Structure 1
Amino acid sequence: MGKKTAKQIAIYGKGGIGKSTTTSNISAALVEAGYKVMQFGCDPKADSTNTLRGGEYIPSVLDLLRENARVDAHDAVFQGFKGVYCVEAGGPQPGVGCAGRGIITAVELLKQQNIFEELDLDYVIYDVLGDVVCGGFAVPVREGIAEHVFTISSADFMAIYAANNLFRGIKTYSSKGGALLGGVIANSINSDFHRHIVDDFVERTQTQVVEYIPRSLTVTQAELQGKTTIEAAPNSEQAAIYRRLANKIADHTESKVPSPLDAKELREWSSSWADQLIEIERKTQYVAVDA
């Protein structure tokens, strides 16, 4: 009987959206449930996995390659919370080279040395910077390394703009064997209008919201301890939300090609929501005055 094939998932999102926070909590929830999980950080800052390791940073693949011409891939794999495997692709020195090169180099190194098969993984989760879908950062999508892609977005325009750009990349590569979209993870959703904005966007782009995650002080407290919420506050409501999200991703099987908005459609869509929010604020002020 042959070894199982790991389910490969890529999670994209613009910088500062909570991508690594969410990804690390998904990894922690899956490993807590008994799965063998690798989190593969694909940000040049190499800080994807630190809350899985008590706040400790690990040397990236590119760090190791700068020191040695030949690297044993095992030296780039570290274990964290409940045995989760952590890898950081890293990036070039500031001002030198393509920031996406680390992803290409790191994936090739682990594949050449059969690390995925050796560790008998259930899940490999790529945490990918989604501000730009350039050559390096597009590798998990373009090469079909990931089977399913999820994007994290808030209701803010720049987060939705980045998500729409990712949709364009997925659509471009979909006919060439690229990964398909599983859906949107809506982060920092603390009001009805935040939820309505994201819902409207996914409806127009023919995708779905996988989970709504509120902004929570519990997450901040956990990260200040160098931990995921799953580890630091396992009985919290926020941890329950992350576990629910992890279960949905684990059970997900059918991804699809999204229908991104073009530049004109996106601008008109955002302008219409700007008008609606002004109207909501005006009504709120009237209610406050009447009270």
Structure 2
Amino acid sequence: FAMELGGPEVGRGCGGRGIIHGFELLEKLGFHEWGFDYVLLDFLGDVVCGGFGLPIARDMCQKVIVVASNDLQSLYVANNVCSAVDYFRRMGGNVGVAGMVINKDDGTGEAQAFSEAVGIPVLSAIPANEDIRRKSANYEIIGKPGGEWASVFELLAEQVAEAPPVRPTPLTHDALLNLFKGDAVGRNVVLQPATEADMCPATVSNKASLEVIYEGV
């Protein structure tokens, strides 16, 4: 069975609030009493939004599977998810992270290094392959039994079902940047503060300093 919770039109409401309403409806329908073996909830990683973080905040799931790739923005979001899980564990929650799925894996290793740093296992790595990309774009089943990618997704299914949830150790921003080469994240770039002449070159006027100096105190 599959269900799309939906949400408001673009620019006309809060998507996270739509998630909250959706779960309230599911609870009224007896969601927790349905006899399913597994229930998978697919969410954006924007846990800054309370709606998207609802399953973690309310202990509505047993474990979280983080999906990320080898780029900084993706791992930044993955780290935010780990931070949210760690926060709610400190608040008495029970949800943990079972591991990471590396998507569009190009072999550069940043996602693997991130997983090791935060203390979660890699459940599977989906390669950055044109055949997978094309089938996904065409809504085709990629992991058909006996097919080229069957073993990848069979392993993923086993890992998702069996991997126990653990409490991650989220990285600081600097530690996250250190997973990447310096030129990839601008580590050696020194930012210079903008001046009034930079911002308003045609209207710059010399003004007396507003600094207050106390003498003889």
Distance 1:220 1:263 in 2: 31
Q: CA RMSD in A?
A: 2.1
Q: 2:175 aligns with which of 265, 269, 289?
A: 265
Residues 144-163 of structure 1 mapped to structure 2, 5 A cutoff: 144-163=59-78
Listed as ranges, the gaps of 5+ residues in structure 2 are 186-217
Aligned to 2:48, what secondary structure does the other structure show?
coil
Which of the two has greater helix per residue?
1
Higher RCO (C-alpha 8 Å, min separation 6)? 1
Aligned to 1:244, what secondary structure does the other structure show?
helix
- The answer on 1:198 being equivalent to 2:111 is yes
Distance 1:142 1:114 in 2: 20
TM-score (norm 1): 0.58
Q: How much does 1:160 deviate?
A: 0.7
Q: 1:241 aligns with which of 140, 152, 157?
A: 152
What residue is the counterpart of 1:103 in the other structure? 19
TM-score (norm 2): 0.76
Residues 124-273 of structure 1 mapped to structure 2, 5 A cutoff: 124-175=39-90, 176-191=92-107, 194=108, 196-230=109-143, 233-252=144-163, 254-272=164-182
Q: How much does 1:190 deviate?
A: 3.2
Residue pair 2:47, 2:84 contacting (<8 A) in 1 also:
no
Distance 1:260 1:137 in 2: 19
Residue pair 2:70, 2:106 contacting (<8 A) in 1 also:
no
> Aligned residue pairs: how many?
184
Which stretch of structure 1 is more off in the superposition, 93-102 or 109-118? 109-118
Q: How much does 1:271 deviate?
A: 4.4
Greater C-alpha Rg: 2
Q: How much does 1:218 deviate?
A: 3.0
Distance 1:215 1:178 in 2: 34
What residue is the counterpart of 1:80 in the other structure? none
